Every structure is written in C-alpha cells, then in structure tokens.
Structure 1
C-alpha cells in the first residue's frame, strides 16, 4: 500500500519539474549561456520561507536602532522600506521579549512577562514600559514619512508586534487572499461569512447570513444551496485557495457528515486546514469539550498528522498566521457569531495571511493562461468570464484565444474590459482573480473549464486521452478498465473513463498506486503535465497527477 505523504511529495516534484520545463521552453538561443562560460553565481533565496527568514533576521536589530539617534533612525527607515518592498507592502516588527512558539502555541491567553531565568528561551531584548512607548512612537513617525501605517496588534506593557503596511492606492490593487470555507450542514458557514464580511454580529436567528442569499428559495428556507460536494471539489481544485476553513458546530460533538469528507479532500490536495468551532455561546461545556476532544483526535491521527494550535489571543493569531503552513500546524479558533468571542483572533489571522498572488505556481514571465471558472451574460456588455490568471499578464484590448470548444478548436476574441474586486482595471497579471468582458461571443459557446491564452499561430492541442499516476484513496471493491468517474483537474470537471492501467491483474484497490490512461467522455480539454487531479464517484476517491498527454 502506497503512502499518501510520499505520493504527495512525488506529485509536487513532478509539478515543479513540469513548471521548470515550461519556463525554459520559450527561451531563445541568444539567451542561452553555456555552463562552462557562465560565472559562478550564488543561488538566490527564492522560496517565501527563505525570504521571510531573511527578513526576520534583518528586522531583529530594529529595536536598538529605534532607541538610538537620528542616524540610527535613518537606518531603520531604509531597512524597513527594503523589507516592505520585498513583502508586497507590509511586514511585522516585534519589539521587546517574545515567547518561543512552543510556549505561545500551548498558552491559554496573553503570556505575562517572564522571570530572568525563564527569559533565556525568549527572543528579543527586554524593554521597559517607557522604552516600548518611545520605540512605537518613533516607529510610527518614521513610517509616516514613507507613507506606511503602523498598527499595534495587541496590548502588553513591555512587548508588542506591530504591523507595518503601506495602504494600497485603490481597492482593486489590494493583495487578495483566497480561502475556501467548507463544513457540514448547519455548521455556521454562512453566518460566519456574513459576520466577517458585513461587520455586524448575528442575532441568533440567522440575520447575518441573509446578505449571502442569492436565490428566492434560499430566502424562503433560510439555507444556502450553492454549497455541495461537487461545488466544494470544484472550488478546491479551480479556486487555488491558500487555505481551507473547516467549520465545525460546537454542538455537533465532533467531525460528522461531510466534514470528514471535506477534511480528507483538503489533505489529499495538500491545502492547509484551519478549524473554526462555531456556536460556542449556545453549547453546554461538556458538549463543547467532547467536540474539541474529537477534533484534536482526528487532527493527530495518522491520516492527518497535524499539530493542533488553539488560538486564544491575538498574539498567537499573528504568529501562527506566518508559520502554520510550513510547520504542519492546524490553528483552531473557537467562535461565537452572536457574542463576538474569538472574532478578533480570526480577523487578525486573515489580515496577516500571505497574499495568494505570491505563490510560486503563478509565473508572470510566461505567456498568458487564464482559467475560466464562471460564465455570465451581462445586459449591454455581453459574455463575461471569471477566473484566475495562472501565468502571464493581460491588458484590456488584447486579442486572445479561448477554448477548447467541443471539437478541440480555439476561438478568436478580444478582451473588451477587465474587472478586479468589482472595479475596472487596465491590466492584470498572474495570481490575480479577475473578470473579462469578451467581444462578440455567445454565452452558449463559452463554458467552465475553458482557458484564455495569448493569440498565436500554433495554439496548444486539446487532448482526449492522457496518462497520469494515481493513488486510490478509497474504493469499496476493485477498479477495473472502463470504470467511469468524475474528474476534477484545475478548472476542468468532466467524466473520464479508465482506458488502461499497469496494475497487477488489471484491478486497483484502496491504497494501490498505478499509471493509468484516462479518456474524456464528452469533449477534449486543455491539460499540461504536472497538473494535480482528483477523481471520485460515490464514495470512491483517487488522487493523481498528469504525467503525459496522448
């Protein structure tokens, strides 16, 4: 039986290799340099983790400089300006003694000042209350000179974590963080989203979620109907979320119903998970304790291997937002949308999450590739598509190709206008979620799963058959040739047939791994080697990666 963790690692390696090959493909001969003639250049720190660690080291000396003279203050300005530029307009500055993460993540609130003996494991330099006030005042004045704002995240007499952020000039230029919200029915998904997006608490009878209703029957029944298993899968594969918020009702006594399915799919797709336990104001203490116990047990199980961190202070929320992805942590928030308990922590966490645009899978230097995830027909405008730019950039008025159609062809069109965050923008680039208005297109021609690419004489070929490596996560009997399932791969959602497999005896069972040839049932699609795929049919689930186009 293959290991899920080992298979996920191999998927990431295949994806990285395919991405590297696609970067080298358009390189011209005059740009190539022979290895023997190339000078020795030290390897640059490219990963966000390495850059963040380097920035933290640079900012470690800011505290002493803030308490120095004017020359020191100029050094602070130059240093923070450089870091803010690298970090898309924001960074965190820590002043005073700060507890180690091991202690902070197991605390039940804001930790007091340590003794001299205990402070040996803490980071930073001890400050008096007056020194801290002086440092924050000087920092605010210096940052005001470069157009940045300083926000103190939590109140403590002798330590502080300050968020330094340059306000974006317009709403549409604000960096975006894409998060998926999943959970069982009646777990508080719509109410929590309503409270976080509207800013007003719930009245205990569903007032906060009314603003999310889009259909008449939703208003009549009080339930949002746009959330289902297929919708969840499509959102996780096509929406490129940075993390998944798993909503668990405190009165549900643990992970029940679809919550386990959503958690399993998120883990299979290697998307970081954040747990929100809702309705704590109306749940008896013994039931809440049982729910927490069950959630922790599932997170620590061999299938998850996550370290649960209960976020009960803003300080913990600030630190865990920067580290939970790399250290396999699972933050757990306990919320009440009626009393507001826990909302400050989750708002701070969301505010400090790194931008989804910074992820390495989005490459600005390559040709345009835009995945279509929604299609509308807007009066007096025409066909409007929504999606994410996977690579390249686009400007209003550019001629593009959209496809593939039902026979694998590509259609010429022009991008009339671009909207981002409901505001018109002249251009957009890789990693951003935007909408295009397309010129002279009919809605029946455009569908979810299409891509928009740069206009070229030799467009890529759409395929009906492809090869992939798969791991069967669950199947109650055996998988054989000609088995059909629903495939989710990026923005593609279509039924496929298993044409061939290299499995012994021609069958696959739970835990088996094999190279499989898939065939689309309805129409050809645009695929690239390295794309992750997930297929399911009933309770059957399989994870894989595209390795070859046939």
Structure 2
C-alpha cells in the first residue's frame, strides 16, 4: 500500500526509474558517480584513491562515501554489463583497501538489456577503537507505542512474544518491569561494522564495550518516557542528551493519535530535531485502522512540518532514498514495523546503517571547550564523574577547566580520565558524548545543567538572563509571568521581562502563532547559556515558546 494525500497527488516514488535521471554530480559532498572503474595506469589508480579519500573526508570526517557505479556525471543512468560491474567492483575494493576502508553493496538497479547500476557504501575501518561514528537518536511517542519493545528487538535480534518480553533488558527499575512503562531515560546502543552488519547479536560480543570496540558506526538510542506525567524527562532527553535525530513511534491499531504523541512531535519540531516515524504493532492492526492512523499522521505532519513531505519506506530502494533525502531536510520517512513478526526491522537496520551524522560547524570545532553536564556520579575509588555532551572545542586528559556555576562562581578542575561509550579515550571533540573523572583542590558539588569551560583568566561569569527570537506555539505568554526554560542541559525557572515585536511598541502578551524578541531573566540562580542554543519555554496553560538565544545578560 502506498498512501496518498487527500488531494490525490502521489508523494512517494522510487528515486530510480529506468526512464529517469539523477541530479547532476556535485563537487562537494560524499557521493561519487562513476560510469565504470577501470584505471588504465598506476597514476590513474592513485588519482582515484585520492578522490575517494576526499569523498570520505567530505562526510564531516565520519569516513563514509556513496559510490554509484554505472551513472554518468550528469546523472543519466548508463548501467554496466555483468563483466564491467565485476571489474569495477574489484577496482573499487582495491581502492578502498588502500585507505583501510570496506565496500558493501547497498542495492542493485536493473536498467534492461542485461545492464544494471550498483550503489555501494564505502566506510573506513577505524584503526583507533574510539574513532567510531556515533549517531544519537531519541525515541518518543505514547506509552502504548511499543518503543522499548522495538528497541529490544533491534538490539537483541529476537522477536517479542506479544507481551513485552523484548523490553525487559531496557528497564532500570522494578516498577518499570511491573508496569511495563518507562519512567526514566534509558540508553541502549546498536553497533554496525564497516560492512554494515549489526554486531549486537552476532554471537561474538557479550558486552556493551565489546560491541562498541568492534563497531565502525554506533547508534545510541535515548529511550524517552511516554506517560504524560514524565514529560519533563522526555524534554530532558531531547535537550540535555543532544540527539541528532528523533524517532517517533505510533501504534497502527490506535483509535486516535494521542495528545502525548502530538505533544512530542511539536517539541521535536520546536527544538529543530529532525524526525522520522515508525508505525508499530502492524501485526494486530486492521487495514481500516491502519488507513485511519496514516491519514491522521499525514494531517499532523503537514501542520507541524510543512516543508517536509511524508515518505513511505517500503523496500531497499526507498530506504536509500530516505537516508539521503532525510539529511537534506526534505522528507519525513515513515516505516511500518512489528516487534512480533519483525516486519520492517531489516529495512530499519539498513536505514540506520546509512543514516549520516549531521556535520559539526567549523565554529564549534575551533572555539573553546564547552561541555554540558547531564549526569553526575560520585564513585568509590574514582571520585567525581560527570557525563554529558562536548558542544564545542576539544577536551584532553590532564586539561584544567572551569566548572560551574556553583553559587554563581566557577572553580578549576583537572580532567583525570575520559570514557566514550565506556571505552577509555584521550580526548573528546565537538559533538561527542562522554564521561570524565574530575578532581578539584576545593570541595565542589556539580549538578545537572552545569558546564565545563576551557581554562583561562579571568574566570567565566554566569548569565542571569537571555534574549530569544521566540515563536509562541500555544497559549498566551504574558509579561511578568514565570515559566521553565529548557536549554541544553539547563532547566531553570525564568521570568518574562519584556516582549518586543518588530514594531516599536512593546507588548504585554504574546499570542499563539506570534513572533517577538522575548527577554527572560533567571529567578533562582544564574546559569551558563550559549549563544545560538535552541530554547523551549513551558508554563501552565499550557504555554509553549521556542526560539534561539540571541543575547546574554550578566550582573
């Protein structure tokens, strides 16, 4: 079944048809077109190896490139004979070996007359066990959507028994096992090797550390809560844990898309987290109920993300198209899955294997270190350990950094050790999550929402307020009211000080759908906020306001 919009216009189509062409090859990016690979000399071979090295580097340093064999530079589909393809693949693998990379075939497209196109993934084998690519995905949706169950099937390889057996390994507390509902954020990993094989249930790896060490790509799932009274945990998962993408799950047998699911979708959109959807529990859904669910989903998606077209993923061809177009912010992929029959699981694996990590801006790479603290531990024999995300710069073992704000001050600490996905490493670069053992000459008590900043003099000064280019998503924001601001790992009570629209006259209220520059001041204590951060402000009503930080204020 290929769903359509109410106006009847088809919105999903395979990217390759024998009568179609691709867009012309571009010089930048990690996609390379080749009519055939048949180097006539060693100089030509070395040139092709250099070209591949450049394409691998174009994936934001993540060591992945797509090679289309049998496609001209202008995007027209030529196709190759069996012998030409065998020769081209042999040469492609020889080129990859020169760069310590591996080639895997994504799909084959038949063009007629015995000719076909091969699409391949070239992925580096990382010599450093800590150089794997990590893609972070937050799972959201109602508590009846089967999020934890599906993650259990994905990471363990065994189908569910229909009563939630697959989810038990993800639960952390006894009451979660008894109720079947997640009450805290759970973290799970899924590893792929350089050939794209899932390693979690290959039989050779027994622990988290072994899976990560052997992986070229690691998918970190941030399993968020689905019950409405745990919404604050879900928001923290979408802000403090810094996901690259969000995966919203909707049960196919539902009578109506729940308010919780709609709320999660709007929060993802407000925070700018790219979203793909899984329609779950397909094994117990009727065709009528499934059609009703899809119609409602399409309506909600058109309202919340009009720039993205819903895209049904139904085979390997549409998986590849989805993975490429999704990163370009043009589509919202929709998968159909069942944790009992494992329908759609192989397509989801292919999608995750091809999904690219969003590039880190050059300014974040080159600027001073900013590490957002999301977890704090005091371990016997180790001392203080902080976990979180390195938002900018590079952090090395033995570095001296500022931590705070603690009672509106910053204190110097030393980085004793760093772990990434439980594996020891010597550094964290921008965009990487990790945990660090720290020590200080004075007694300190770090907490969530604090930061580690690059050392220097004078010490940093925390912020007492910030300005946001805001959009009111729902409710009415009134000047003088208090609300809770979520910004990265920071969760703070703030007060609305001013509302300044584009006109000269200042407003007392900001209604749903209106935009303005809104100043918020901290109520209880100062915090460290970064310019350009996405902010979500929530108050009673419910009032939701989102935007980006444009100015910062200090005492």
Report the TM-score range of the alignment, normalised by the length of the smaller protein.
0.7 to 0.9
Q: Which residue of 2 aligns with 1:320?
A: 322
Query: Paired residue for 2:489, among 474, 482, 491?
Result: 491
1:240 and 1:295 mapped to 2: Cα distance?
Answer: 25
Whether 2:551 is the aligned partner of 1:548: answer yes
Kindly state the Cα deviation for residue 453 of structure 1 after the two structures are TM-superposed: 0.9
Could you tell me how far apart the structure 2 residues matched to 1:328 and 1:169 are?
35
Name the structure 2 match of 1:172. Answer: 130
CA drift of 1:326 comes to 2.3
Cα separation, partners in 2 of 1:153 and 1:527, compared to 1, 3 Å: same
Cα deviation 1:118-171 (Å, max 9, x = unaligned): xxx973312223432332233223323432111112355522211111112244
- Measure the CA separation in 1 of the matches of 2:323 and 2:356: 8
Does the CA-based 8 Å contact 2:30-2:64 persist in structure 1? no
The structure whose residues are more often helix, as a share, is 1
1:329-368 matches, within 5 Å, as: 329-356=331-358, 358-360=359-361, 363-368=364-369
Q: CA deviation at 1:172?
A: 2.4
Whether contact under 8 Å (2:149, 2:339) holds in the other structure is: yes
Is the Cα–Cα contact under 8 Å of residues 398 and 414 in structure 2 kept in the other structure? yes
Does structure 1 residue 437 correspond to structure 2 residue 437?
Answer: yes
- Taking structure 1 as the reference length, the TM-score comes to 0.80
Q: Is the 8 A contact 1:383 1:441 kept in 2?
A: no
1:137 counterpart (90, 93, 97): 90
Deviation string, structure 1 residues 374-429 (Cα, Å, up to 9, x no partner): 112222211211111111111111111100012x1011211111000110101111
The 3-state SS of whatever aligns with 1:367 is coil
Pick closer, same or farther for the CA change 1:303–1:313 going to 2, 3 Å. closer
Q: Which residue of 2 aligns with 1:460?
A: 460
Superposition TM-score, scaled by structure 2 size: 0.79
C-alpha separation between the residues in 2 aligned to 1:221 and 1:58? Answer: 47
Q: 1:171 to 1:189 in 2, by over 3 A?
A: farther
SS at 2:376 equivalent: strand
- The 8 Å contact of residues 201 and 208 in structure 1, kept in 2 or not, is answered as yes
| Gap change, CA 1:159 and 1:67, over 3 Å in 2 | farther
CA shift, 1:96, in A, is 3.2
Counterpart CA distance in 2 for 1:323 and 1:170 is 31
Name the Cα RMSD after superposition.
2.6
The alpha carbon displacement at 1:514 in A equals: 2.8
> In 2 relative to 1, CA 362–217 (structure 1 residues): closer, same or farther, beyond 3 Å?
farther
SS of the aligned residue for 1:200 comes to coil
Stretches of structure 2 that go unaligned for 5 or more consecutive residues are 1-24, 111-115, 185-224
> Is the alpha carbon distance of 1:58 and 1:323 closer, same or farther for their aligned partners in structure 2, counting shifts above 3 Å?
closer
Compared with structure 1, are the counterparts of its residues 432 and 362 closer, same or farther at alpha carbon in structure 2 (3 Å cutoff)?
A: farther
Alpha-carbon spacing, 1:53–1:320, altered in 2? closer, same or farther (3 Å): farther
CA contact 2:464–2:527 (8 Å) conserved in 1: yes
Query: What's 2:387 paired with?
Result: 386
Q: Distance in 2 between matches of 1:537 and 1:379?
A: 40
Q: Give the structure 2 partner of residue 65 of structure 1.
A: 37
Shift of 1:97: 5.8
Name the CA distance, whole Å, in 2 between partners of 1:193 and 1:492: 28
Equivalence for 2:220: none
2:288 to 276, 286, 289: 286
CA distance in 2, matches of 1:530, 1:74: 43
Q: Structure 1 unaligned runs (5+)?
A: 1-51, 99-120
Equivalent residues of 1:418, 1:435 under 8 A apart = yes
